[in-house]
Structure 1
Amino acid sequence: MMKELMILLFIHTASAVIHSLKCNLMISSGVPNAPEYLIMVNVDDVLSAYYDTTTKTPEPRQHWVTEMMETDSVLWEMFTARGPIYQYYLAEETKNFYQQPRGVHVIQQITGCEWDDETEKMNGFTTFGYNGEDFIAFDKDSETWIALTPEAELAKQDLKTRTEEYKLFHTVTCPSILKNCLKHAESFLNRKVLPSVSLLQTTPSSPVSCHATGFYPNKAMMFWRKDGEEIHEGVVHRDMLLNQDGSFQFHIDLNISSVTPEDWRRYDCVFQLSGNKEEVVIGLKKSLISTNWGKSKMKNNEVNTTPIVVAVVVLLVLIVIGAIGFTVYKKKKEKPLTSSPETDCELSERLNSQTIQDPAHSVDTT
């Protein structure tokens, strides 16, 4: 019954697609090594264009955007011309967000629209955040600004004068831009890419994770089977994540504590992508599992032998000095040590966990 329910849900979500245009803007002060202003535009949650005051150069982030710059330059010119100027509009309408004159201030605006290509329904949205917390939101039903904290009551008064502009952006400007972008990005957004699937394990006693990355679109299923039948006991599904290139990744864990070595061959992991008949199947085999605990052991052994090697070298040096009967003294100016950059563990690299995180860019609402 559970499997049939999952299949019905899978078919439904595969048929209805929610397209979106999301503009993320941020202005900040008191934050070291951060741009004062940045904007990012995401089409269907994929970073498509970016600008900040450090580079001062609007950047296309997808091939279809680069092509659009040549064939339909109006949208790109709108972004390059109005995007940087919007910094001053954003600063002006959020001037009363600041709760203290000094210190760190980060103001974020997320605005855009979503379109259901099945029902043709379009929804607009705008939310402001202050120092990492939701601050003010536009309610599309009542067409009013909602203060999400007591401190936001005063600040929302400045936004009331621009209510009509935001309504126009939500209902006319944004939908028009989104549909235009979808026209140019059609081949990119309609592509179907199967993932790379691998088995991962952090320790000998931890669950085995079946990890799929690089697939598109995000309408996909992955499950563990035993003797060809889907299983749910001992299986944990993890959230799907967006990769930097616009593809997706996710993984499901299988608790193998009660699985005997003889029964491993009865298990496999299956990945299914909507609209693609081909399945990706990987069997539960120790030879296919990537780990990092084996290499950690080897590194520990290497560390343990270091004092012995150092002691032998020091002893040989002392013997040589005693044999020749003199000492050499040389002054050296020590140079400060530079620390090596931090790196993720090998397992994390295999998981290709990321997050996105270029901040998002926006189109002016005026």
Structure 2
Amino acid sequence: MKKFMLLLLFCHVASPVLHSMKYFYTASSQVPNFPEFVEVGLVDDVQTVHYDSNTQRLVPKQDWMEKVTADDAGYWDSETQRCQNDQQVFKANIDIVKKRFNQTGGVHIVQRMYGCEWDDLTGVTNGYEQHGYDGEDFLVFDLKTKTWIAPTPQAVITKHKWDRNTGQNEYLYNYYTQECIDWLKKYVGYGRSTLLRKELPSVSLLQKTPSSPVTCHASGFYPNKIMLFWRRDGEELLEDVDHGEILHNHDGTFQKSVDLDVSSVKPGDWGRYSCVFQLAGDEKDIVTKLDPKVIKTNWGKTEIKRDGDSPSGFPTGGVVGAVVGLLVLVAICIAGVIFWKKRNNGFEKANTSDGSASSDAGSAS
């Protein structure tokens, strides 16, 4: 069973026509300087809504999300009320799960992640709901059998309880196969100009020391359905390369790096290597040859300077963007990575409306 973090890491390899809507709930106890409860919604990996126990209000994170009031004038009020109810449910759920694991104090996190996907080319759809506790799987909804999977013995009590609630499970099935897809299509329509845009990155070659790997760094691209890889003599390299994660920039674009170990590459062979950036749906690749003259270093051999570059030649703009983006992800990862397991911790299920799959299973105790 894949962890939520893995879902986040691999979501970027999806088809270029694969749209997604994801919701993450995170309830925590004794986490310093972090809200006790957070809800975050994303469409095509773009954050659309946010709620936390400090503000007590669900708010749009994209201008185009305001369009939802054209169909439902009271949308933000009703959704805020739902979030406030969820907050109480998940607060109680932490106490229930702690007892299951014979725990008392300390830092603990309950998570729920759910959502759906829609391929606008083939029409194929998929849905999922998962719950976790302290970074481990707790419960997963099996869409095919309409039953719950308990990866840990402490979740078996809740699994049996929820399995008996066939009406609720039937509702979840219908939600993930129909209602969730309808909302996803609506949101994609609202944000079409943003979600379907394409932006190409700037690509730089970086190296810390003469013996360090050469990093191919692409920043400023959108969407995150991309491939970035090294090739030799026109063939993709699978060895001596290290792929980094796709990270958020502060402006909503993305960045990614891939390292090439050049320790065994002869100086005369450098010209055989190149870094290739491919954006889904764009026929033209961005190819950057491995040339010592264009590598930015911090050891005095900077050949290329750009606005925003540091004195060492390393671009600071992308790094700053990554830091800002990561701060957002701490709310989407502490409220998102954390989320993976947060999906329905076998206690009482939180409600679901537009993007939220309703869960009225009752207490897990």
TM (normalized to structure 1)?
0.70
Query: 2:357: which partner in 1?
Result: 365
What CA distance in whole angstroms lies between the structure 2 residues aligned with 1:121 and 1:70? Answer: 29
Go from structure 1 to structure 2 and tell me whether the alpha carbon gap of 1:239 and 1:126 turns closer, same or farther (over 3 Å shift): same
Query: Are residues 1:109 and 2:79 paired?
Result: no
What CA distance in whole angstroms lies between the structure 2 residues aligned with 1:32 and 1:50? Answer: 20
Answer whether contact 2:24 2:39 (CA < 8 A) is retained.
Answer: yes
Which range moved further: 182-191 or 245-254? 245-254
Where do 1:170-181 residues align within 5 Å? Answer: 170-181=176-187
Answer whether contact 1:224 1:235 (CA < 8 A) is retained.
Answer: no
Query: 1:131: which partner in 2?
Result: 134
**1:167 pairs with one of 173, 176, 179:** 173
In structure 2, the residue corresponding to 1:191 is in which secondary structure? coil
Query: 2:67: which partner in 1?
Result: 68
Question: Could you tell me how far 1:139 is from its partner in structure 2?
Answer: 0.9
Where do 1:34-49 residues align within 5 Å? Answer: 34-49=34-49
Where do 1:1-366 residues align within 5 Å? Answer: 17-65=17-65, 67-68=66-67, 71-73=70-72, 76-91=76-91, 96-98=96-98, 99=101, 100-160=103-163, 161=165, 162-224=168-230, 229-230=234-235, 232=237, 235-236=240-241, 238-244=243-249, 245-261=251-267, 264=270, 267-292=273-298, 349=319, 352=322, 355=326, 356-358=329-331, 359-360=335-336, 363-366=355-358
Question: Could you tell me how far 1:144 is from its partner in structure 2?
Answer: 0.8
Go from structure 1 to structure 2 and tell me whether the alpha carbon gap of 1:78 and 1:287 turns closer, same or farther (over 3 Å shift): farther
Letter in 2 for 1:47: Q
Unaligned runs of 5+ in 1: 1-12, 296-344
In structure 2, the residue corresponding to 1:27 is in which secondary structure? strand
Question: Could you tell me how far 1:267 is from its partner in structure 2?
Answer: 4.4
In structure 1, the residue corresponding to 2:83 is in which secondary structure? helix
What CA distance in whole angstroms lies between the structure 1 residues aligned with 2:88 and 2:123? Answer: 34
What CA distance in whole angstroms lies between the structure 2 residues aligned with 1:168 and 1:81? Answer: 23
Go from structure 1 to structure 2 and tell me whether the alpha carbon gap of 1:357 and 1:46 turns closer, same or farther (over 3 Å shift): farther
Question: Could you tell me how far 1:251 is from its partner in structure 2?
Answer: 2.5
Number of aligned residue pairs: 303
What CA distance in whole angstroms lies between the structure 1 residues aligned with 2:155 and 2:212? Answer: 46
What CA distance in whole angstroms lies between the structure 1 residues aligned with 2:248 and 2:29? Answer: 29
Answer whether contact 2:198 2:221 (CA < 8 A) is retained.
Answer: yes
What CA distance in whole angstroms lies between the structure 2 residues aligned with 1:101 and 1:158? Answer: 24
Answer whether contact 1:83 1:364 (CA < 8 A) is retained.
Answer: no
In structure 1, the residue corresponding to 2:180 is in which secondary structure? helix
In structure 1, the residue corresponding to 2:24 is in which secondary structure? strand
Identity of aligned residues (%): 42
Answer whether contact 1:86 1:364 (CA < 8 A) is retained.
Answer: no
Go from structure 1 to structure 2 and tell me whether the alpha carbon gap of 1:292 and 1:282 turns closer, same or farther (over 3 Å shift): same
Q: For each residue in 1:25-44, what CA deviation from the matched residue of structure 2 results, as whole angstroms up to 9, or x when unmatched?
A: 01122222221111000111
Go from structure 1 to structure 2 and tell me whether the alpha carbon gap of 1:15 and 1:21 turns closer, same or farther (over 3 Å shift): closer
Answer whether contact 2:94 2:108 (CA < 8 A) is retained.
Answer: no
Higher relative contact order (CA 8 A, sep 6+): 2
The structure whose Rg is larger is 1
What CA distance in whole angstroms lies between the structure 2 residues aligned with 1:45 and 1:209? Answer: 25
Go from structure 1 to structure 2 and tell me whether the alpha carbon gap of 1:285 and 1:221 turns closer, same or farther (over 3 Å shift): same
Which range moved further: 208-217 or 99-108? 99-108
Letter in 1 for 2:136: E
What CA distance in whole angstroms lies between the structure 1 residues aligned with 2:321 and 2:242? Answer: 15
Answer whether contact 1:28 1:37 (CA < 8 A) is retained.
Answer: yes
What CA distance in whole angstroms lies between the structure 1 residues aligned with 2:32 and 2:156? Answer: 29
Go from structure 1 to structure 2 and tell me whether the alpha carbon gap of 1:112 and 1:78 turns closer, same or farther (over 3 Å shift): farther
Q: For each residue in 1:266-306, what CA deviation from the matched residue of structure 2 results, as whole angstroms up to 9, or x when unmatched?
A: 644332323334443334343432334569xxxxxxxxxxx
Q: For each residue in 1:310-349, what CA deviation from the matched residue of structure 2 results, as whole angstroms up to 9, or x when unmatched?
A: xxxxxxxxxxxxxxxxxxxxxxxxxxxxxxxxxxx97993
What CA distance in whole angstroms lies between the structure 2 residues aligned with 1:58 and 1:103? Answer: 28
RMSD: 3.3
Go from structure 1 to structure 2 and tell me whether the alpha carbon gap of 1:169 and 1:90 turns closer, same or farther (over 3 Å shift): farther
Answer whether contact 1:201 1:289 (CA < 8 A) is retained.
Answer: yes
